Amino acid sequence: MRISRRIFTSLIATLLCLCGASAQSNGFNLIVVGDPQPQTEEQITRLEKEIIPQIATIVEEYNATGYPTAILLTGDVVWDTTKFLPRVKADFESLGVPVYAVIGNHDHNKRHQRNQAKAEQAYVEAFGARNQAFMLGETLFVTLDNIDYTDHTKYGLKVDADQLIWLAQTMEEYTDVEHVAVCMHAPATSHRTGGFIPYAKPIISIVGDRKIDLITGHGHRHFTADHTPDIIEHSVAQVSGNLWFAPICADGTPQGVFCIEERDGEWMWHHRIFGRNANEPLIVYPVGRVAEHEEYVVVKAVGWDSKWSLTWSENGVDMGAMEQIAILDPDYMYYVEHEADYRKKYMQRLRRSARPHRHYFRCKPTAPNSKITITATDRFGRVYTEEI
């Protein structure tokens, strides 16, 4: 008997809601894992021993909320080692929640050149069709393949005509859904212009007059792009740091995952730093710690976007807004210059990867040994404080 896509995805949603006796149907928790990307036995073992247990802690916390929890992998599930695909899937499935994924450029079998279907076969066998639709809470999630693959060194960004037709048909099936999450590997937002990369415009047009959240990875850095009040892209940093060679991403985003929580149709999100609670996104560097800013206290707001505000006080006196700066991450650069010890080509890659980021803020104390209090408020009104 053939089961329609609508019935199938309804069954999936039902199973998610039944994963605990107290599960609630008007929301979800989604743990977005950026580019797991193990290439070697050592790296996949580290994934299993270092990363999976950290995510298990978050799954346990989310299970206690009574809302269903799921995991989304943003592509580059592996690093050209397609034999690892089933093992990585099993590792995440061991956490006891549904696991979804999109295909990345490194999930293609590099032995197959100029034949995208064959290059994607191992991924499809492990994770299913590249285009999937499923409901979580009140949001329709769709997965698209935006890697136009020639070989492992040559690929473009494109969603082909067949997928656009599939997307249009899916939108027709879900006419009553007002919120769509479009999940792909590579970002839809241009870092040069801040606007959409041309391939993404037909996708936005087909989804139409609905709230759209795009979820992507690939760049190994965190950013949030507000295109309109109803169209936002979330690009998720690499879960392990920078390509398993540094324990922090080159933009300064620490090892962690991107967490989305839907309650009564409304989304909230944050980057969850491994080893920290969800309400601890601030990393504070004391006076003298950051080169070229030695007279300042510098703060990194992990998961920052343009809707955040940061203020500071000195010895209980309100000093106003902190000054935003764009710098190379102090922790990343310290690791590269003092702790990393790899072959020359990997060291060059680590140094080349470093780019200034804007999630840093500074303030200059007026006296030594002052008590400095940093207060950050995110777009949802959540308040975080640190003292130094």
Report how far apart, in Å, the C-alpha atoms of 174 and of each of 5, 161, 221, 347 are. 10, 20, 32, 49
Residues paired with 327 in a beta bridge: 357
pLDDT one-digit tens code per residue, 263-272: 999 999 999 9
pLDDT at 11 over 60: no
State the chain's maximal CA–CA distance in angstroms. Answer: 76
Interval 171-184 mean pLDDT = 97
pLDDT one-digit tens code per residue, 60-81: 999 999 999 999 999 999 999 9
Q: What pLDDT does residue 115 have?
A: 81
pLDDT at 14 over 70: no
Q: Are strands 317-321 and 309-314 parallel, antiparallel or unpaired?
A: antiparallel
Calculate the average pLDDT of the chain: 93
pLDDT band, residue 3 (cuts 50/70/90): very low
pLDDT one-digit tens code per residue, 146-176: 999 887 778 999 999 999 999 999 999 999 9
Distance CA 213, CA 231 (A): 6
Distance CA 101, CA 135 (A): 14
Where do the structural domains in the chain lie, given as residue ranges? 5-273, 282-387
pLDDT at 127 over 70: yes
> Are the beta carbons of 61 and 29 closer than 8 angstroms?
no
pLDDT band, residue 23 (cuts 50/70/90): low
Report how far apart, in Å, the C-alpha atoms of 30 and of each of 173, 229, 387 are. 24, 22, 31
Q: What pLDDT does residue 19 have?
A: 43
For the ranges 30-39, 101-110, 150-159, the lowest mean pLDDT is seen at 150-159
Residues paired with 179 in a beta bridge: 211
Distance CA 56, CA 32 (A): 13
Distance CA 66, CA 94 (A): 20
Q: What pLDDT does residue 153 have?
A: 78
pLDDT at 8 over 70: no
Report the CATH superfamily, name and number, of domain 5-273: Metallo-dependent phosphatases (3.60.21.10)
Q: Give every CB contact of residue 153 below 8 A, 6+ residues apart in sequence.
A: none
pLDDT at 130 over 90: yes
Q: What pLDDT does residue 49 have?
A: 98
Q: What pLDDT does residue 1 have?
A: 34
Q: What pLDDT does residue 381 have?
A: 98
Q: What pLDDT does residue 25 have?
A: 64
pLDDT band, residue 24 (cuts 50/70/90): low
The Cβ of residue 56 has, within 10 Å, a number of other Cβ atoms equal to 13
pLDDT band, residue 142 (cuts 50/70/90): very high
